[in-house]
Structure 1
Amino acid sequence: MLASNASRAPRDIMRPVPDLQSMHVDDYTDQLHRICGRFRVEAKPTQRAEIHGAVKRRTLSRFDVAMVTLDANRVVRDGAMIRKDPGEHLFLIYQAEGQSTILQNDRVCRLYRGDFFIADSSVPSEFIYEGRHSTQISLHLPRDEMVARIGKDCVGGTEIERGDTLSLAMGGVLDRMLETDAGSAALGEALINILSAYFHARARGNESVSARLYRRAVQQLEAQARDSSFGIDALATDCGVSRRTLQRVFAEHGDSFSTRLQAFRLELARARLMAGEENIASLAFDCGFNDLSNFYRLFRDRFGVSPGKVRAKPLVS
């Protein structure tokens, strides 16, 4: 899911990670591997294989925590890495500074400062930073325990609805945990209890009317985004509300129909190019763009490179 976070002011949870430094991408990858498992870090071509950042490990309550700061192009965990380093954790990721896009299990989620996402280490993933500064706090949660306590809805990669009061409560608890060197056992348990309450409430449908409509609208939008004729009026009809109501609900979540639709189409096109598709014109039309020159312009504006250059960088393990 792609989203914007302009609708609420994020908590100032993250203190700056100390000792930021420039290092070769291989050295940064080694640090990330020791703390988070196997990933491949890719610098932007203009960075000459240099990453400016740091990876710091902490223990909060009973959880290992990684504080990751970087300005990479992207970080990838593919199937070959998972086979060598099977995933035993869920990563509760808090976007503390900057922004990122996470692709996991056919989901595309844009994180802004203050957002949470649960990444599944057993599923291939891609974290896109586009060379911009980003800091994320990642709590490593035992996968089997979380499934037993929360249920299977927490696996496979899932976003935490930013407007939910339980999301704000999680931010408050994480803030308290970071105030001390190790955090308390009670705070760690409180965090998991809030996370469990969030998923149980969502499963029971105890969301606000606005949040429920927004979630349904985004799901419908992403399902029909490849149709170049798809517009907000069709989405409003599908959701059983007026165009004006739908616009208001998107605005309440710091989003808009046109921004969401365009971003999803572009992220989908980029993911398919990364997967090896070669016919750019056919791909662009299949992703919902009916003007090839406009697709090239929008793609370059968003990712800083042309579609052809993305296609020319196949994944390697």
Structure 2
Amino acid sequence: MTVISLSTDVMPPSERAESWRDFISRTIHNVSVERISAKDFSARISARQHDGIRCASFWTKAHDVCGKRETLGNAGASGYLVSWQMEGTAEITHDEQRRILVRPGDVTIIDSRRPMKVCFPGSVRRIVANLPAAAVEKSLPVLQHIHSMPLAPAEPFAAILRSYLVELSTGNHALKLGDGDLLVENICNLLRVIAHRQDVYMTPRELQRAAIARFVSRHASNPDLSLDDAAAHLKMSSRLIQKVLHEQGTSFSNMLLQERLELARTQLLACHDRISGIAYACGFNDISHFNHAFRKRFGMTPSDVRSAEPAGRRDA
């Protein structure tokens, strides 16, 4: 997870806008750049990428950045942008209608799969992390409906979140394979705590979805886990659980399968165990079914994922 940096100060003014756009598109999110001065624009940025996390810390003069709606051609490339405003102000227009004024100390969570425009009226310093949509929505299901959320973290949670983002964007500590998934989970749980303390509204249905998702996530490795188990634990009827998940476009069996596949993928990248052993440990009883489902979900076989890793991490 090497830190990569860019400073426009060493470039001819005519090249700065395109270099800036290209760098943030590669390290944060694919955007276009507008309202940028051809004479005195200046920006500095440091970024790191690891295990599905992209995080950058930057200072820049006034300009605007715009992101388009995710299309079939780039589906899955976007996630939620979690931004910490350190200096200066910003105005975010999201989904072509909601406006959020951002001041120093504010945190914003934006679904980058939807249209957005971020205006920097003057110089700003901020940290931005692009996190997987599924992980963010699991902790904050309300985002599936409102798609953006401003937060004003209080201590001690502000310091904890800030330390995570600083380390991810500019830190020198090496991360091991699999650490990224754990860090994403920790950041998302921290955002949930911050949102809860600010009484961010969640409907009863959203609370039900969140409870089901948490239960499945915690017990996915149990090969005997059933819909009836979830109903008994959550004190909800099996029919209600199926109805809640149907509204999300999924089912209990599919949610459980996807959770097990994600768990297996994380284990493949993090340990030396045999692929069959990982499959069994993640709740699968049939290796053929596991291999088929894994390839359908990730476009690669478990062996392909293992082979893509450095020597010494192959399946024994």
TM-score by length of 2: 0.49
TM-score by length of 1: 0.49
